[in-house]
């Protein structure tokens, strides 16, 4: 049930007691000193007559009682606790009022006195209390706007003209034309059609042979066959991928000061190309973008068997990022705003980012929707994932598991056999919890009766000291008062608050978050033998209490371990671990840690060599109050057990192994050497008994650290290592991809007016848009982000946006204008559909056809609407001047990439290779500056299509930029088509254009043709898919002749003349436009 929220505006009723109170000296003070001051200095922004900045009104008593975004403004009687007093005192930088000029000290003193006397205030008036939550009426707005209504599958209209329409979509177009008394344009000439088809579907012009083949055999069947062939070409994916890349602000660097690279961005681009070519159903494609990392099983690339699904999530990370934000949280909010903006526009055609600061001005979207989405991102993190063949990885894992299982009994047996028959007293003193300790208590004493009590006394004493020391543990938290001014707050250590993760006790359901296979599927359980990597140290550790452990089967697996998100509440975090790993502290999703501010604070190498656990600390004082998580990427075998806040190195609990305790207490042990024998027996039993007890595992672990490996044990281990090596060879090489990773469930409160420092009390549960029923789904307490269910709601056929927005984009690309012209904005501020029924017809048909892009494109380009001539008809132009009814095809300027690619193709320079890392952008001397990278890509991009030219944010290709390739900062579904002088200047004077003209000319003059007439004909066929008319031939040949006149005839002069002609053919508008 949707709540009509406006009905819930609460009115605060003034207590009537205050009314009619006599005018005492206190009120007199208010009237004389305070009211004038408020009127003069505060009402401009805080009165019901003017504005209500920060939600605060100061023109009534209830105004300051209710207060603004930060709560009540005055605490009567307590100036220091009153925000109003703090503000006028300029005590907090974010709260300095009045903002332009500080009040006089005398005025501040008056205000202080007034608050201290209890803030007497006779002013009446009621202030509406703004409940947290949306104030807009979602249901009413939903009902009022077409785009929120369900997609209906309308009946195919009847038209009087029954011959023109080829497809159902044609009949919708024709219907409106007939209503406007317009006849559709004639079908275009085959030569026009073939050029139109090739440029639209592949972004490349047809070759002269293709033109000839098409025109000579022109028929309905030829047309359909050609469409089919073009849809099957890899160039189709390359052209249509670009449309998508515009929507996700694709770029390969992060822009800003240093323009750092976005690692593996090109793999995302190639993923899009392949998805288009494979005609991956659009609903699947959407799901992969939102939750590809969570899809099980993922979609695999049929060629290299890599996980394609996870690659889709890379789009979240294609935005800008700075390297050293002073306010790291604000920086995050800006980045997230961009992610939400792109997400909502690209998939849903909705401008959700508008709701960052306030409920949407026009649409049925509230700030709650915005922060509900924010939570999904806070529950997820950036990762470079390994997309290599998951099935093969699984097979290798299974085999390694079996091998390990098979070898363990032999290893247990051989290690047990290696245990000495009697332990002897150690030469050096050992710790009280060492099993050899009982043999050291009274050196020289052999009678065990004598030492028994002393051992037990020493144990008791040690346990007591240990407990005392542990109880003294504190946590220190610095409170920052100024940049160099900290106050340390110390409090007793509290396991509930201060343990971040303890894999011993915490439930893996809540705390186990990994990517890849390196840490396995959960903590290593007690009793598990972690095997070593060499035969002289076959056992790394026998687990007695649960730990997170990497490399349990192989060090060749990839992946990382992370903690849930937690708030930094102490200065120092301590980690109990063994082995080597890189620690990354993820604060506010900041990743570009290259600058002076955070690079030291967010990374650390954890090195804990040798046996047993180590404690390492990391200073987080700078990030107190932030919500963060820690990531551990093993450098070699790595084990971690506990992470906690502490003011000093934590003291491990002392535990005496119960088996040893029992042994010492046993009256059967009469001598120290008897103890040594009994201990040996106990150890052997511990090594061989399966499953065993925690005490046995601990003892076994102690024993294997010191056991001398026998040749037999080494042989067993070597055999294992060799077979393991064989199996590992089958592991695919890692394929690093840019991706999302699921974290722990986080919800975000509403940032009032977009300011993260003032938030609502209650976080907003993660959910899809309320207007689409989202608030009823995605429970906030589920493990992980819940993105998969978000994705499923997005592609649910009941969602009226996803399919409509997409089919409209495709229509826009083919017909030059969307049925909804504002392709990225289906909201109330966007334009209404010109053909609402056609839009719904296409959307429902699209879903019925399995969300197939190719089926949709096929349907549209086979229509009579698409095949219509673009030549304007004077009468039709008068009736439909903007061509809103599609009475003819528009004349369209080629997209930037198509212009460059066509020049490459026509000149013979096009390098047809698909996919792979980008070619560095060419940095001309003119572009080069203090901000440029060293080096430069080749002028012609090695002949690669524009799609494969590096998209470097701070050095965008000038030719592509001049022809409106968008700056990658937000979703652009509809490019500008501008007309700037930079375009002709580039086409006339740019080196690349000259180079390609020369190349083309060289090709033309070297062909074994009999005449220049034939040469010109070929040039025209290549460039315009037609032969020149007589006057054009005359003009062209005349130009060549003129160029050669008066000069000695040479091959180079001929090539120059043809270069000049070719250059102008690139500039002829017929080359730059599609008709």
Residue whose CB is less far from another protein, 257 or 447: 257
Residue whose CB is less far from another protein, 181 or 929: 929
Site string for another protein, 217-256 (x = CB under 8 A): --------------------------------------xx
Task: Identify the sign of the CA torsion 387, 388, 389, 393.
Answer: negative
Residue 582 forms beta bridges with which residues? 605, 633
- Give Cα separations from 693 to 261, 416, 696 (angstroms): 52, 16, 5
Residue whose CB is less far from another protein, 29 or 362: 362
Residue whose CB is less far from another protein, 504 or 622: 622
Q: How far apart are CA 743 and CA 406, in angstroms?
A: 35
Q: Alpha-carbon Rg of the chain, whole angstroms?
A: 37
621 contacts another protein (rule: CB under 8 A): no
Per CB under 8 A, the list member of 450, 967, 1006, 1050 interacting with another protein is 967
Per CB under 8 A, the list member of 162, 929, 934, 1052 interacting with another protein is 929
Do the bridges between strand 10-11 and strand 128-129 make them parallel or antiparallel, or are there none, so unpaired? antiparallel
Find the part of the chain contacting another protein (CB under 8 A) among 25-33, 222-230, 438-446, 954-962.
954-962
Q: How far apart are CA 92 and CA 480, in angstroms?
A: 12
Residue whose CB is less far from another protein, 716 or 889: 889
Residue whose CB is less far from another protein, 192 or 672: 192
Instruction: Give, as ranges, the residues between 500 and 519 that touch another protein (CB under 8 A).
Output: none
Minimum distance between the CB of residue 92 and another protein, rounded to whole angstroms? 9
Nearest to 34 by CA among 88, 110, 89, 105: 110
Residue whose CB is less far from another protein, 616 or 832: 832
Region of 497 on the Ramachandran plot (φ > 0 left; ψ -120 to 50 alpha; else beta): alpha
Minimum distance between the CB of residue 331 and another protein, rounded to whole angstroms? 8
Residue whose CB is less far from another protein, 762 or 976: 976
723 contacts another protein (rule: CB under 8 A): no
Whether omega for the bond prior to residue 691 falls within 30 degrees of 0, making it cis, is yes
Instruction: Give, as ranges, the residues between 551 and 590 that touch another protein (CB under 8 A).
Output: none
- Chain centroid to Cα 902, Å, comes to 34
Per CB under 8 A, the list member of 20, 443, 482, 1046 interacting with another protein is 482
CB atoms within 10 A of CB 106: 8
924 contacts another protein (rule: CB under 8 A): yes
Find the part of the chain contacting another protein (CB under 8 A) among 239-247, 282-290, 424-432, 965-973.
965-973
Q: How far apart are CA 323 and CA 647, in angstroms?
A: 30
Instruction: Give, as ranges, the residues between 1007 and 1046 that touch another protein (CB under 8 A).
Output: 1029, 1031-1032, 1035-1036, 1039, 1042-1043
Find the part of the chain contacting another protein (CB under 8 A) among 298-306, 721-729, 855-863, 974-982.
974-982
Region of 255 on the Ramachandran plot (φ > 0 left; ψ -120 to 50 alpha; else beta): left
Minimum distance between the CB of residue 963 and another protein, rounded to whole angstroms? 9
Task: Identify the sign of the CA torsion 836, 840, 846, 847.
Answer: positive
Q: How far apart are CA 422 and CA 695, in angstroms?
A: 20
Nearest to 619 by CA among 646, 601, 594, 642: 601
CB atoms within 10 A of CB 875: 12
Instruction: Give, as ranges, the residues between 887 and 906 that touch another protein (CB under 8 A).
Output: 891-893
Minimum distance between the CB of residue 827 and another protein, rounded to whole angstroms? 6
Instruction: Give, as ranges, the residues between 1056 and 1075 that touch another protein (CB under 8 A).
Output: 1060-1061, 1063-1065, 1067-1070, 1072-1073, 1075
Residue whose CB is less far from another protein, 218 or 871: 871
Per CB under 8 A, the list member of 13, 22, 100, 781 interacting with another protein is 100
Task: Identify the sign of the CA torsion 111, 116, 122, 123.
Answer: positive
Q: How far apart are CA 808 and CA 820, in angstroms?
A: 7
- Chain centroid to Cα 253, Å, comes to 15
Site string for another protein, 40-59 (x = CB under 8 A): --------------------
487 contacts another protein (rule: CB under 8 A): no
Residue whose CB is less far from another protein, 607 or 891: 891
955 contacts another protein (rule: CB under 8 A): yes
Minimum distance between the CB of residue 1016 and another protein, rounded to whole angstroms? 12
Minimum distance between the CB of residue 135 and another protein, rounded to whole angstroms? 18
Instruction: Give, as ranges, the residues between 596 and 615 that touch another protein (CB under 8 A).
Output: 596-597
Minimum distance between the CB of residue 112 and another protein, rounded to whole angstroms? 19
Q: How far apart are CA 63 and CA 129, in angstroms?
A: 9
Q: Which ranges of 218-320 would DSSP assign to H, the alpha helix?
A: 220-231, 234-247, 265-277, 282-291
CB 526 within 8 A of CB 545: yes
Q: Per the structure block, which two tokens stand in for 289?
A: 């973008």
Q: Which residues contact 755 (CB under 8 A, 6 or more apart)?
A: 69
Minimum distance between the CB of residue 258 and another protein, rounded to whole angstroms? 9
Q: Per the structure block, which two tokens stand in for 287?
A: 């799901």
Instruction: Give, as ranges, the residues between 844 and 873 that touch another protein (CB under 8 A).
Output: 870-872
Q: Per the structure block, which two tokens stand in for 814?
A: 């083919």
Minimum distance between the CB of residue 950 and another protein, rounded to whole angstroms? 15
Per CB under 8 A, the list member of 24, 99, 917, 1041 interacting with another protein is 99
Q: How far apart are CA 1027 and CA 919, in angstroms?
A: 35
Instruction: Give, as ranges, the residues between 345 and 404 that touch another protein (CB under 8 A).
Output: 345, 351, 354, 361-362
Find the part of the chain contacting another protein (CB under 8 A) among 12-20, 62-70, 531-539, 951-959.
951-959
CB 123 within 8 A of CB 61: yes
Residue whose CB is less far from another protein, 911 or 1075: 1075
**Residue the block writes with tokens 């946006």:** 801
Residue whose CB is less far from another protein, 569 or 954: 954
Minimum distance between the CB of residue 934 and another protein, rounded to whole angstroms? 15
Instruction: Give, as ranges, the residues between 977 and 1006 that touch another protein (CB under 8 A).
Output: 977-986, 988-991, 994
Long-range contact set of residues 776-784: C-beta below 8 Å, sequence gap at least 24: 780/375, 780/745, 780/747, 781/745, 782/745, 783/509, 783/510, 783/744, 783/745, 784/294, 784/379, 784/742, 784/743, 784/744, 784/745
- Give Cα separations from 151 to 180, 295, 349, 859 (angstroms): 26, 27, 15, 19
Instruction: Give, as ranges, the residues between 804 and 833 that touch another protein (CB under 8 A).
Output: 822, 824-825, 827-830
Q: Which residues contact 700 (CB under 8 A, 6 or more apart)?
A: 542, 683, 686, 687, 692
Minimum distance between the CB of residue 148 and another protein, rounded to whole angstroms? 15
Minimum distance between the CB of residue 642 and another protein, rounded to whole angstroms? 30
Residue whose CB is less far from another protein, 662 or 879: 879
Site string for another protein, 302-341 (x = CB under 8 A): ------------------x-x-xxxx------x---x---
Instruction: Give, as ranges, the residues between 257 and 276 that touch another protein (CB under 8 A).
Output: 257, 259
CB 308 within 8 A of CB 298: yes
Q: How far apart are CA 293 and CA 316, in angstroms?
A: 12
Residue whose CB is less far from another protein, 359 or 742: 359
Q: How far apart are CA 698 and CA 134, in angstroms?
A: 58
Region of 1064 on the Ramachandran plot (φ > 0 left; ψ -120 to 50 alpha; else beta): alpha
CB 240 within 8 A of CB 853: yes
Minimum distance between the CB of residue 622 and another protein, rounded to whole angstroms? 8
Q: How far apart are CA 873 and CA 881, in angstroms?
A: 10
Residue whose CB is less far from another protein, 328 or 411: 328
């Amino acid at each position: 049930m949707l709540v009509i929220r406006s009905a819930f505006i609460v009115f605060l009723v003034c207590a009537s007691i205050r009314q009619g109170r006599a005018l005492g000296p206190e009120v007199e003070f208010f009237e004389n000193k305070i009211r004038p001051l408020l009127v003069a200095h505060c009402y401009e922004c805080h009165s019901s007559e003017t504005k209500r900045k920060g939600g605060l009104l100061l023109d009534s008593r209830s105004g300051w009682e209710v207060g603004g975004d930060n709560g009540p403004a005055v605490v009567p009687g307590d100036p220091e606790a009153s925000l109003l007093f703090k503000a006028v005192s300029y005590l907090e930088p974010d709260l300095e009022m009045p903002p332009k000029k500080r009040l006089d000290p005398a005025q501040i003193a008056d205000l202080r006195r007034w608050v201290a006397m209890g803030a007497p205030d006779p002013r009446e008036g009621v202030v509406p209390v703004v409940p947290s939550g949306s104030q807009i009426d979602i249901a009413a707005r939903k009902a009022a706007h077409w785009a929120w209504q369900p997609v209906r599958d309308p009946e195919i209209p009847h038209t009087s003209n029954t011959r023109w329409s080829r497809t159902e979509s044609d009949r919708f177009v024709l219907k409106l034309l007939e209503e406007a008394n317009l006849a559709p344009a004639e079908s275009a000439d085959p030569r026009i059609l073939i050029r139109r088809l090739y440029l639209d579907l592949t972004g490349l012009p047809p070759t002269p042979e293709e033109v000839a083949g098409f025109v000579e055999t022109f028929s309905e069947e030829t047309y359909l066959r050609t469409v089919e062939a073009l849809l099957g070409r890899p160039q189709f994916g390359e052209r249509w991928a670009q449309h998508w890349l515009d929507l996700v602000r694709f770029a390969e660097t992060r822009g800003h000061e240093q323009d750092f690279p976005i690692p593996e961005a090109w793999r995302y681009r190639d993923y899009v190309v392949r998805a288009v070519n494979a005609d991956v159903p659009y609903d699947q494609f959407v799901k992969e973008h939102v939750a590809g990392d969570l899809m099980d099983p993922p979609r695999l690339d049929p060629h290299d068997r890599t996980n394609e699904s996870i690659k889709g999530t890379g789009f979240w990370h294609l935005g800008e990022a700075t390297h050293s934000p002073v306010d790291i949280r604000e920086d995050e909010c800006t980045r997230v705003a961009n992610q939400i903006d792109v997400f909502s526009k690209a998939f849903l055609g909705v401008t959700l980012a508008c709701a960052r600061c306030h409920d949407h001005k026009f649409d049925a979207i509230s700030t709650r929707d915005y922060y509900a989405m924010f939570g999904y991102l806070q529950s997820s993190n950036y990762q470079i994932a390994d997309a290599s063949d998951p099935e093969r990885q699984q097979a290798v894992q299974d085999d390694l598991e079996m091998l390990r299982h098979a070898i363990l009994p032999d290893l247990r047996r051989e290690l047990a056999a290696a245990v000495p028959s009697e332990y002897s007293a150690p030469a050096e003193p050992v710790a009280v919890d060492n099993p050899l300790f009982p043999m050291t208590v009274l050196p020289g004493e052999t009678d065990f009766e004598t030492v028994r009590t002393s051992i037990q006394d020493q144990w008791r004493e040690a346990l007591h000291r240990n407990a005392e020391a542990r109880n003294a543990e504190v946590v220190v938290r610095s409170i920052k008062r100024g940049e160099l001014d900290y106050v340390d707050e110390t409090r007793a250590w509290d396991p509930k608050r201060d343990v971040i993760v303890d894999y011993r006790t915490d439930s893996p359901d809540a705390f186990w978050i990994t990517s890849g296979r390196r840490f396995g599927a959960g903590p290593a359980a007690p009793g598990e033998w972690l095997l070593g990597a060499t035969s002289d140290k076959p056992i790394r550790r026998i687990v007695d209490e649960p730990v997170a452990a990497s490399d349990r089967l192989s060090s060749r697996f990839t992946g990382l371990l992370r903690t849930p998100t937690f708030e930094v509440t102490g200065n120092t975090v301590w980690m109990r671990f063994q082995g080597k790993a890189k620690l990354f502290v993820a604060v506010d999703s900041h990743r570009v840690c290259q600058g002076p501010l955070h690079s030291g604070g967010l990374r650390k190498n954890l090195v804990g060599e040798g046996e047993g656990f180590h404690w390492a600390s990391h200073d987080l004082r700078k990030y107190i109050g932030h919500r963060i998580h820690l990531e551990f990427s093993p450098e070699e075998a790595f084990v971690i057990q506990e992470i906690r806040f502490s003011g000093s190195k934590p003291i491990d609990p002392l535990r005496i192994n119960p088996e040893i305790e029992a042994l010492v207490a046993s009256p059967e042990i009469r001598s120290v050497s008897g103890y040594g024998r009994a201990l040996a027996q106990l150890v052997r039993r511990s090594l061989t008994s399966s499953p065993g007890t925690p005490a046995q595992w601990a003892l076994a672990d102690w024993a294997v650290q010191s056991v001398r490996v026998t040749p037999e044990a080494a042989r067993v281990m070597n055999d294992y290592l060799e077979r393991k090596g064989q199996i590992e060879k089958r592991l695919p090489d890692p394929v690093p991809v840019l991706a999302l990773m699921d974290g722990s469930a986080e919800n975000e409160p509403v940032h009032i007016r977009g300011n993260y420092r003032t938030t609502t009390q209650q976080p907003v549960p993660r959910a899809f848009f309320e207007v689409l029923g989202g608030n009823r789904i995605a429970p906030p307490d589920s493990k992980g982000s819940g993105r998969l269910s978000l994705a499923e709601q997005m592609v649910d056929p009941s969602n009226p946006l996803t399919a409509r927005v997409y089919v409209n984009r495709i229509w826009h690309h083919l017909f030059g204008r969307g049925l909804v012209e504002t392709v990225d904005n289906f909201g109330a501020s966007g334009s209404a559909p010109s053909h609402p029924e056609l839009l719904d017809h296409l959307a429902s048909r699209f879903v019925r056809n399995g969300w197939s892009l190719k089926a949709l494109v096929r349907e549209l380009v086979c229509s009579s609407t698409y095949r219509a001539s673009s030549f304007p008809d004077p009468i039709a132009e008068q009736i439909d001047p903007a061509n809103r009814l599609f009475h003819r095809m528009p004349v369209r300027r080629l997209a930037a990439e198509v212009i460059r690619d066509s020049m490459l193709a026509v000149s013979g320079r096009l390098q047809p290779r698909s996919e792979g890392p980008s070619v560095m952008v060419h940095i001309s001397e003119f572009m080069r500056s203090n901000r440029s990278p060293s080096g430069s890509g080749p002028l012609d991009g090695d002949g690669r299509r524009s799609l494969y030219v590096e998209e470097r944010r701070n050095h965008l290709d000038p030719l592509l930029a001049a022809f409106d390739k968008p700056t990658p900062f937000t979703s652009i579904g509809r490019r500008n088509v501008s007309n700037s002088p930079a375009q002709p200047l580039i086409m006339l004077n740019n080196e690349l254009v000259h180079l390609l003209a020369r190349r083309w000319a060289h090709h033309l003059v070297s062909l074994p043709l009999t005449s220049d007439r034939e040469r010109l004909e070929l040039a025209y066929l290549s460039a315009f898919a037609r032969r020149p008319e007589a006057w054009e031939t005359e003009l062209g040949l005349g130009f060549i002749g003129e160029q050669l006149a008066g000069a000695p005839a040479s091959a180079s002069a001929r090539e120059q003349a043809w270069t000049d002609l070719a250059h102008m053919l690139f500039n002829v508008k017929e080359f730059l436009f599609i008709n």
